[in-house]
Amino acid sequence: MTVCLLPLTDVTRDISDAAFFDEMKTGSVFINVGRGQHLVLPDLLAALERGHLCAAVLDVFNVEPLPSEDPLWSDPRIIITPHMASAVSDSNIANQIIGNVLCVLNGLALQNTISSALQH
């Protein structure tokens, strides 16, 4: 699993590209909660298509909100989360991230999920 939390700069723009995905372990999950411009989407889709990555969790996009007709909504390999800010303490955020990482590692359901049927 690789999580992108970087700020957007000239150096980090398009950082998640084919070469980046090739460095990840086969079967990994890519999570982008940084900025949409970090991701080269065609490269991610190619890595998923060839089975190098098994899934992706995307919280940010080049166009936000993600249009309802975008094919990413129906791709079973991609989980889309709502990119929304709130007034939450750093410790609460860290605890939620750690809790969900532990869920993934232990084969448990993620906390605080929503139905994809509600997103359309």
Tally of domains within the chain: 2
17 shares a domain with 72: yes
Indicate the pTM of the whole model.
Answer: 0.72
Position 120 scores a pLDDT of 39
Say whether both 80 and 114 belong to one domain: no
Could you please report the per-residue DSSP string of 31-52?
A: EE-S-GGGB-HHHHHHHHHTTS
| Residues linked to residue 39 through DSSP beta bridges, in sequence order | 16
Q: 95 and 111 share a domain?
A: yes
Specify whether 15 is located in the same domain as 51: yes
With 50 as the cut, is the pLDDT of residue 33 above it?
A: yes
Q: What pLDDT does residue 83 have?
A: 75
Quick: pLDDT tens for 38-86.
999 999 999 999 999 999 999 999 998 889 899 999 999 999 988 776 6
The larger pLDDT score, comparing residue 112 to residue 97, is at 97
Contact between 62 and 44 (Cβ < 8 Å): no
* Catalytic residue check, 50: no
Q: Using CA atoms, how far apart are residues 82 and 4, in angstroms rounded to an integer?
A: 16
> Is 120 annotated as catalytic?
no
- Residues 17, 74: one domain? yes
Residues 68 and 9 in one domain: yes
CATH number of the CATH domain containing 34: 3.40.50.720
Q: Is the pLDDT of residue 118 over 50?
A: no
Which residue range(s) make up the domain with 99?
A: 87-120
Mapped onto helix, strand or coil, the DSSP state of residue 12 is coil
**Do 69 and 94 lie in a common domain?**
no
Could you say which of 13, 35, 38, 120 is catalytic? 35
The answer to which of 20-24, 63-67, 87-91, 99-103 has the lowest mean pLDDT is 87-91
